[in-house]
Structure 1
Amino acid sequence: MSSASRHPTPHAPAVIGIDVATASVRVVCVDGRGCVLAEARAELPPPVRTVAGTSEQDARSWWPAVRTALRRTTGALPRGGREVTAVAVSATSGTIVPTGADGVPLGPALMYDDRRAADLNAEAQRVGGARWDALGLSVGPTAALGRAVWCLRTYGRGLRHVLHTPDLVGRALTGRPVATDWSHALKSGYDARAAEWAHEVFDAFDFPLALLPAVRAPATEAGVVGREAAEATGLPEGCSVRLGMTDGCAGQIATGAVEPGRFVGVLGTTYVLKGVSAELVHDATGAVYSHRHPDGWWLPGGASNTGGEWLADVDPARLPALDAAAAARGPASYVRYPLRRDGERFPFVSGAARGFELGRPRDEADAHRAALEGVAFVERLALERVERLGVPVLGPLHAAGGGSRSAVWTAIRATVLDRPVRVVDRAETAFGAALLAATGTLHEDLAAGAAAMVRGGALVDPVPGERSALDDAHGRFVAALRERGWISDG
């Protein structure tokens, strides 16, 4: 992907990506070369979470927020939105809403972190064990599958549909029911390998499959913008509505990591590794699981409990000075595993895992540097794990997330990995949704769209003078994990 300067072409066709996140809706409009023409956001009410593990949001707030953000975006375009060819919607993974026959919510949306159906999900895991094993997937306590069953038992005959966030927004855009994509359907019990809902599991719960939407590949057309939505949003009537993907998958696509062997390390509150493989990856521990790529490949990855969360107690205003001091001092004098919570889920699975230090810091800069290195050590283990599972990791690692804005942290990551790290300009969900909207409209396929639209960003090379010290520290880190029984030699 070229990082050359780009300028929008006047009156060129454009696409829009919509990200329905937890706190807000974000909309971005880009042309076929990835130039941002306009963008806007609208706030959403915060989810209501309880100590009992429930997590709800008013689903009726989604469309008004989407409508507002779209109107602000199209109003800022040179042709008032007439240049928009297609739109796609991405949202949180595993959020569902019960609706009646008219598509109107019967109650609040059950969010991705809602645990009310943990017992139902445990039963779904047992019933569908053979299927989940073949998929390399497990049904966790927060899976949407169990919550769908809860909706049936709660709303009874009044329940006509269990929809995902983009399904509800897509219906508002088109004026009719739309299919869902196989990315959003994954945690609801869809088997993308067999191209079917896990019917034996739903049968065990007496759950009619007719309550679930049809499923199609991301980036395919779900319908077109109807007259009412066109008047409300500024989108042209007849504009193509394409299927999106979950926020994590769309964020990966936004980096340009869309072909086999390409991976992205997302460094936010936690660390997430995502990539593309030609074949489905099987990880017996469950640390790595796969979404399906729009072109039929697979998107293996995993999410750690380690990451930028260790900075939660640090005043953000102090980070530039701490980074500068960490860069000046060079490799840390001791080893640190900066895990703030109990347990780890990737690149290894251990409920017993706890953060630790091998030695003591000389000063604050040393402690800061050791934590930066500790997350990089986790990232190296993550890449080595997917390679042991038979997935090649090619070329530079794409980098995204707030932590990738730290120059010293990125240089440490490159050195620990002994490979260049490419920081991508707009690695965000809404931009990834725009790429999906451009697939089959502005560009022939996703790879062509990513090549034309994703800006490569800065390429950060390893620091040769620090390689030996960081290799030694990583070895001590791995040895400590083995001594504690959290990882094995396999």
Structure 2
Amino acid sequence: MVAFIGIDAGTSMVKAVAFDQSGQPLHTECRPVRLDIQDGRVEQDMDEVYGGVQDVVSALTQRVGRPALVGLTGQGDGVWLVDESGRAVRPAISWMDGRAHALVEEWSAAGVITSVFRRTGSAMFPGCPGPVLAWLDRHEPASLDAAASAVACKDMVFQRLTGVRATDVSDASMPFLDPRTRRYCDEVVAALGLTHRRGLLPTVSDPIAVGELASGAPIASGPYDLAACALGAGVTAPGDGLLIVGTCLAALVVTRELDLDGDPAGLHISTDRPGQWLRAMPAMVGTAALDWMLGIAGVSHTEVDALLEATPPGAHGVRVLPYFAPSGERAPFVEPRLRAEFTGVSLESSRGDLVRAVCEGIGFAARHCLQAAGLTGSLALCGGGTRSSAWAQLFADVLARPVRIAEGEVGARGAVLAAAARSGTELDAGVWTAPVEVVEPDPARAAFYAKAYEEHLDRLAVARALARAN
């Protein structure tokens, strides 16, 4: 049996999928990984993440034998400090971490955030490598002294698997990569006060790095999960977009234009195609917000569809600003102190009202991000949120456009396609990325949500002003 394995080391789950030659999934293995969240700090155990990768790959190879090719992707941003062998110097600091929020505010007031965006097209937020490294340099320099590299999640895994120390242009995009030269911008490193830590930045492999597993199977590393999902969903034409409804709510639009003069927001992810980028607006919280709400309400995921179908659009007046992350928001604006808000709640509000209001709030955030990213073409939808058919319909209604539901595990799928392109292996990308269905918007609900979205923006403007004042 010829099989291809895609590995996706995500924020809350490590997954690996074995595909056949036509992209049909043969077997899937998953292992949960923990997040240590306390006082705005979010960390992960690297050994647990790496052990999860080993487990899922071992389980799949027992089923399908040695794969013909392996592709690796994983969560981006944060800082994973490792020694020469790729082992942890300290726990990984997640992209969700908020400890550097004061530093981001300091840089914003001093114009550093805008200056960096003008060079790289990336607007820094507390959990991205620049602020985290600068925070560590100020408050925990011994960790940086002990480290050989400050890498991303997939880079740590790849080094442990193959011995190769490298990153790729997608993970390097935030915040140090010049998107025109595809190399680190030393002026940005200096602007963040990190010139003396420049040696921690791993080599940028362009094209993506390759190596071998212990079994002898070839493996390629990259791009990171957002860009891998775009490949796995077939979003490669300029103007087309992807909405990832995962732990993070990410809006991506393919572009051939660098907009470095606009408002600093989101990032430009460099791709395997020089001269083409993904304009990305990765909001901080997607399904994590719904998971929180379900836990508070005592509702299981299997009940979401029934609750959404039983509660009308507008959730009987309950509204949610869905900014639940302890580090605030990063797209389509940076507001470290912004937090979630519920309004219109009364003793008559039901669990269905609260769940629908959260889902609608996330839908409005998605519309905001896609508009800022410049969506003009078709839109694909992927991620755990697509398991709810009612929520997928809600997205189509809120966005007032058809959405193509991508085949499952698009990150792992995209990792295989990237590895195949790197190795010269012929796979039919059109067949691998065909949507499973297209969801059309309901005109009446779309009209209702168009007005509700404008009201959402008004409430958001007030909340942002209050966040900055506190």
TM-score bracket for the superposition, by shorter chain length: 0.7 to 0.9
Name stretches of at least 5 consecutive residues in structure 2 with no aligned partner: 466-470
The structure with more helix, counted as a fraction of residues: 2
Counterpart contact for 1:333–1:361, Cα < 8 Å:
no
1:256 Cα deviation (Å)?
2.0
2:92 matched to which residue of 1? 109
Task: For 1:110, give the aligned amino acid.
Answer: I
Verify: 1:406 aligned to 2:388, yes or no.
yes
Whole-angstrom distance in 2 between the partners of 1:146 and 1:330 = 40
Verify: 1:162 aligned to 2:145, yes or no.
no
1:294 Cα deviation (Å)?
1.8
Corresponding residue SS for 2:422 = coil
User: Which digits, 9 at most, give the CA deviation of each residue in 1:121-177, with x for residues without a partner?
Assistant: 678876686343232323332222354463793157654333333333323333x33
Give the aligned CA root-mean-square deviation in angstroms. Answer: 3.8
Corresponding residue SS for 1:139 = coil
Corresponding residue SS for 2:429 = helix
Q: In the alignment, which of 72, 76, 84 is matched to residue 59 of structure 2? A: 72
Task: For 1:93, give the aligned amino acid.
Answer: G
Verify: 1:93 aligned to 2:61, yes or no.
no
2:231 matched to which residue of 1? 253
When Rg is computed on C-alpha atoms for both structures, the one with the higher figure is 1
Verify: 1:133 aligned to 2:133, yes or no.
no
Classify 1:362/1:267 alpha carbon distance in 2 versus 1 (closer, same or farther; 3 Å). farther
Classify 1:362/1:475 alpha carbon distance in 2 versus 1 (closer, same or farther; 3 Å). farther
Whole-angstrom distance in 2 between the partners of 1:264 and 1:104 = 34
Q: In the alignment, which of 423, 442, 445 is matched to residue 463 of structure 1? A: 442
Whole-angstrom distance in 2 between the partners of 1:460 and 1:49 = 36
Task: For 2:27, give the aligned amino acid.
Answer: A
| Residues paired across the two proteins, number | 448
Counterpart contact for 2:71–2:415, Cα < 8 Å:
yes
Verify: 1:384 aligned to 2:371, yes or no.
yes
Which of 350-359 and 375-384 deviates more? 350-359
User: Which digits, 9 at most, give the CA deviation of each residue in 1:296-325, with x for residues without a partner?
Assistant: 311112234675525433302532331332
Q: How does 1:234-383 map to 2 (within 5 A)?
A: 237=216, 239-268=217-246, 271-282=249-260, 284-296=262-274, 297-304=276-283, 307-308=286-287, 309=289, 311-312=293-294, 313-314=296-297, 315-316=299-300, 317-326=302-311, 334=317, 336-339=319-322, 341=324, 345-347=330-332, 355=341, 357=343, 364=350, 372-383=359-370
2:468 matched to which residue of 1? none
Whole-angstrom distance in 2 between the partners of 1:479 and 1:148 = 35
1:429 matched to which residue of 2? 411
Classify 1:439/1:318 alpha carbon distance in 2 versus 1 (closer, same or farther; 3 Å). same
Corresponding residue SS for 1:187 = coil
Q: In the alignment, which of 178, 181, 187 is matched to residue 200 of structure 1? A: 187
Which of 123-132 and 309-318 deviates more? 123-132
Task: For 1:250, give the aligned amino acid.
Answer: A
TM-score, length-normalised on structure 2? Answer: 0.79
1:214 Cα deviation (Å)?
1.3
Verify: 1:418 aligned to 2:396, yes or no.
no
Name stretches of at least 5 consecutive residues in structure 1 with no aligned partner: 1-10, 231-236
Corresponding residue SS for 2:223 = strand
Whole-angstrom distance in 1 between the partners of 2:376 and 2:282 = 17
Corresponding residue SS for 2:170 = coil
1:7 matched to which residue of 2? none
Whole-angstrom distance in 2 between the partners of 1:95 and 1:383 = 23
TM-score, length-normalised on structure 1? Answer: 0.77
Verify: 1:31 aligned to 2:20, yes or no.
yes
User: Which digits, 9 at most, give the CA deviation of each residue in 1:193-223, with x for residues without a partner?
Assistant: 3322232344543425443321023xx4523
User: Identity rate of aligned residues, in percent?
Assistant: 24
Which of 376-385 and 14-23 deviates more? 376-385
Corresponding residue SS for 2:68 = strand
